[in-house]
Amino acid sequence: MGLLSAVAEIIRDLLIFVVAMTALLIALIVIVSRMPNDNPLKRLLTALSYRIGATVAAGAVAIPIEPIPGIDVVYDFAVPIALIWSWFTFFRDAHPMMRDVTPRPQRPRQIEPDGR
C-alpha cells in the first residue's frame, strides 16, 4: 500500500508542476505579445511558438494518418525530417536573431505651448 501512495504523490506532484509551467508559459506569451515588434525577444519567442505549434500539429495529425496504408509510411519519413529541419533552422538563426538589434528611432519630444 505504501508503494501506491508514493506513486500517487509523484503523479500529483508532476501534475502540479505541469499546471504551474503552463500558467508561466501563458503569462510569458501575454507579456511578450505586448512588446514592440522589433524586440529581439519577441522575434525569438514568435519563432519558437511557430516551431512548437508545428510539432504539436504533426503529432495531432499522426494519429488519424496511421491507419491509411502508404500515406503513413510517407508521413513517418517526411514529417520527422521536416521537423528536424525546422528546429535546426530555429537554433541556427536564434543567435543572430538576438544579436541583430537595430535601435528604435526616438520620438521627438513634444514642446508644450508654455515653452517647456
DSSP string, 50-76: HHHHHHHHHHHHHHHHTTSTTHHHHHH
* CA dist., res. 75 & res. 73, Å (int): 5
Render pLDDT for 44-79 as a digit per residue (tens, 0 to 9): 888 888 999 999 999 999 999 988 888 989 999 999
Q: What is the pLDDT of residue 28?
A: 85
Same domain, 58 and 89: yes
Number of domains in the chain: 2
Residues 47 and 66 placed together within one structural domain of the fold: yes
Cell of 113: 505651448
pLDDT at 7 over 90: yes
In a domain, 109, yes or no: no
Residue 3 lies in a domain: yes
The CA distance from 56 to 61, in Å, is 9
Instruction: Tell me what the mean pLDDT of segment 74-95 comes to.
Output: 92
CA separation (Å) from 46 to 40, 58, 66, 78?
A: 10, 18, 30, 24
Q: Domain containing 67: what range?
A: 36-102
